Structure 1
C-alpha cells in the first residue's frame, strides 16, 4: 500500500512538468505565427488622423529648427568675424608693445654697455675728490664706408690721427703756403681732400698726401659737384661736415683745418684729447675765449634790474680736433642736416648745436668740449690787435695762426711766415688791426 501511493505521487509530479513544458512550447509557436502574419502588430497608428497631425507637427518643428539653425549659424559667423577682427587688433597692439619694449630694452642695454665701457659703478669719494668722466668711448672702426680712403689713411695717419683740409682751385695759393709750412714743421700725418682736378694734380706734384672722390661718386651727388668746383670759402666750409663723417666712422680722430692757417709747431703735441671736440676760439682774451658772467641791466625792473648771463665767444669751425665718438658723429649729422635745409653760416650752426641746452621741443647734444689756448692756437685778431703790440707776447711762438678775421688772407699768411719763420721783426707792422 505504501509503495503504491509513492508511485502514484511520482507519476502526478512528472505529468505536471510535462504540461508546463507543452504550454511554453505552444506559446512560443503562437508568437512566431503572429509575428510572421502581423509584423506591424495588431494596431497601426500611422493610419490615424492624430498620427498624421503629429507627423506634420514634427516636420514643422524640423523646418523651424532648420531656420533657427541657419540664423544661429549666421549669428555665430558674425560673432566669429568680430572676434577675429578684435583678435587682430589685439595682436597689433601686442606687437607694438613688444616693439616699444624691445626699443626700451635696447636703450637700457646701450646705457648699460656705456656704463660698462666707462667703468664700474663706484661710491663717491670724500668732498673735493670726485671727478666725472669727460671722454666718450670711440666707435668701432668701419672701413667699409670708404675702402679707397681707408687705404690712404692706413699709410698716412699716425696713432689714428690726421690733419684734414678741403680745397679747390679758388684757394690754390693759400693751400701752397699751408702745406709748405706743415712740411717744414715735420708733420707727416696730414691729407688734402681735393675738390677738383687742379688741386689733386698740385698735391701729387708736390708730394702732398691727397684724396679725391671718383667721378662716379661725384656724379651721384650734384650738390657736392657744384660746391667742389665753384664754391667759395663758406660753401666749402659747410661741405666738410659731411666729409668728416667718413673719417670718424673709420675710427680716425681728425684735426680739421682751413687753408688760411700757418703751422709753426706740431699741433698733436699740444692737444688734451679729453673731449669729443677740442676747438680754437674766436675769443681774443681770457674772458671772451673761456667765458664770463655778463650782467644785463634793465632799470625799469627796479630791485631786480640786474640779470646775470653767461657768455662765451664762439668756437671757430675752421680749426678743431674731433674724436671718433657717437656724440661727435651726431654733431656732424646735425650740422650737415641743418646746412642742407637752411641758408645758414656753418660756424653759427656748429656752435648752436654744441652749446644749446635741452629745452622743451629740443634735445641738446651731449658732447664734451674743450676750448684751445687762445695764445697757442691763435686767431688773427689776437695777433694783430694784441700780440704784435706787446713786447712780451711777441716772444711767444704759437702752434698755429689762423687768419680768420681778415680778408687779405694770403698776404697776412706770408707776413706771419716772415715774422715767425724768417725773423723779419717788422713783417706784421704794415697791416691794420682790422680790415682796411
Structure 2
C-alpha cells in the first residue's frame, strides 16, 4: 500500500509540472503577440508614441515664441555662411598646396619632358640643352589666319611686319627689296584698310585682324613706338599656331634671304644695337669706386640691347611667356618703350620677388644683320668691310629713314659706291 501511494504521488507531481510548463508556453505566446518589443523596450509603441508626441507639441507651443524661432533661424544662416567661408579657405589651401607640389617637381617634370635623365660625361664633354620643344599647334585660336599661313609660310617660318598708312612709303621699299631677294614667305599685318588695299594692289600677302576695340585706335593712328608695342600681342597667335616668326620693322632693307643664316637653337634670336664685338656680344666692364679702397674695382658684365624691331622667335612656351610679359607690362605702363621692356624681361635674372624668364637667347652676327650705326660709322669707311654683303640693313639709328634706305639700295643693289657718302655718321639733331 505504501508503495502504491508513493507511485500515485509521483504521478500527480509530474502532471503538475507538465501543466505549469504548458501554461508558461501559452503565456509566452500571448506576450510575444501583444508585446513584441518587451516590457522594457526603448522604442515605445502605440499609446506611448502618441503620449510622447503630445507632450513634445505641448512643450514647443508653450516654450518657443516667434522671437526665439527668428533667433534660431538667424543662427542657422550665420553658421551656413561660416561653413561656406571655411570651405572656400580649404579649397584655396588645397590649390596652394597643389601649386607648391607642382613647383617642387617642376625641374623633374621638365627633364622628363625634354628627355630621359642622363649621367654627366667626362670633363669637357658635357653640354646642356639649348633648344626648347615647340608647342602643339592649336588652329582653333584663329582658323582664318591658320589657313593663310599654310599658303604663305615655308617650313613653318615667315617674315611678319606690322604697318599702317603712316609708313606706307617705307613699306613699299621694304617689300620691293624682299621680292628682289627672292623671299617668298613674308606677310604684312595691315592695321588699316588702306594698307590692305595697297598690299593687294602690289601682290603682297596681307592679313587684316578682326576688329579689336582695345587696340584698333592705336593701330590706325599710332606712331612707330605705339605700333611697335602692338606686335607682342599680335605675334602670340602666330606662335600658338605653331609658326616661327622673323619679326621685322619696315625700315629694313633685305639683301639676302635671312632664313639661310639662322641657327634656330634658341627661343629668341635677335639683332643687336651694339656696334662692335664688345657692345654686341658682351664684355667685362670694370666699375671703379676709389672710396672702397682695396675693393675699389668691381667687375660687371654688359651687353647692348637686342633690337625689338628685328628678331626671330620660335613657338615655344618661354617665347609665348615673353610676349605675354612684355604686352602685359606695356598695357600697365603706357609710357614705357617696348624695346626697353623687351630686353628687361629677356635678361633680368630671378631674384627675391621676381621670377626671371627662362628663355634661350642668341645674338645675330652684327655684320650680317647690320644696324645703321655699324654701317654709317664703321663699314662704309673700311675698304675691306665695304666688300661684305649683309643679309639686312636696319635703319634704326637715324630719323631720316627713307633717304638712307634708298641710299642702302643704291650702294648694295645698284652698286653706286658713293651712295652712302653724303650722310653724317649720326643725325643732325
Provide the TM-score with structure 2 as the length reference.
0.80
Partner of 2:402: 410
RMSD: 3.1
Counterpart of 1:401 (choices 380, 393, 410) is 393
Shift in alpha-carbon separation, 1:121–1:201, aligned structure 2, 3 A: same
Counterpart of 1:423 (choices 372, 395, 415) is 415
Partner of 1:352: 344
Are 2:187 and 1:191 aligned? yes
Q: Which has the larger radius of gyration?
A: 1
Give the deviation of 1:144 after TM superposition: 1.1
Shift in alpha-carbon separation, 1:252–1:109, aligned structure 2, 3 A: farther
Structure 1 residue runs without a partner (length 5+):
1-8, 25-62, 72-76
Shift in alpha-carbon separation, 1:425–1:277, aligned structure 2, 3 A: same
Partner of 1:119: 115
Shift in alpha-carbon separation, 1:110–1:189, aligned structure 2, 3 A: farther
For 1:5-44, list aligned pairs within 5 A.
none
Other structure's SS at 2:161 match: strand
Counterpart of 1:365 (choices 334, 343, 357) is 357
Q: Distance in 2 between matches of 1:84 and 1:205?
A: 68
Give the deviation of 1:98 after TM superposition: 3.8
Counterpart of 2:332 (choices 341, 344, 368) is 341
Other structure's SS at 2:117 match: coil
Partner of 1:301: 292
Other structure's SS at 1:141 match: coil
Runs of 4+ in 1 over 2 A off after TM superposition: 9-14, 81-114
Q: Distance in 1 between matches of 2:271 and 2:150?
A: 27
Counterpart of 1:267 (choices 240, 258, 261) is 258
Are 2:270 and 1:279 aligned? yes
Partner of 2:240: 249
Q: Distance in 1 between matches of 2:410 and 2:2?
A: 166
Partner of 2:368: 376
Partner of 2:22: none
Give the deviation of 1:96 after TM superposition: 4.3
Q: Distance in 2 between matches of 1:265 and 1:351?
A: 27
Give the deviation of 1:103 after TM superposition: 3.3
Q: Distance in 2 between matches of 1:314 and 1:12?
A: 137
Deviates more, 1:102-111 or 1:311-320: 102-111
Partner of 2:323: 332
Counterpart of 1:208 (choices 163, 181, 204) is 204
Counterpart of 2:167 (choices 147, 171, 176) is 171
Q: Deviations over 1:19-47 (max 9, x none)?
A: x99xx9xxxxxxxxxxxxxxxxxxxxxxx
Other structure's SS at 1:274 match: coil
Partner of 2:39: none
Counterpart of 2:157 (choices 156, 161, 164) is 161
Give the deviation of 1:99 after TM superposition: 3.0
Shift in alpha-carbon separation, 1:86–1:231, aligned structure 2, 3 A: closer
Shift in alpha-carbon separation, 1:147–1:92, aligned structure 2, 3 A: closer
Other structure's SS at 1:363 match: coil
Give the deviation of 1:142 after TM superposition: 0.8
Give the deviation of 1:102 after TM superposition: 3.5
For 1:50-89, list aligned pairs within 5 A.
none
Are 2:119 and 1:128 aligned? no
Partner of 2:29: none
Q: Distance in 1 between matches of 2:235 and 2:84?
A: 47
Q: Distance in 2 between matches of 1:85 and 1:363?
A: 37
Other structure's SS at 2:215 match: helix
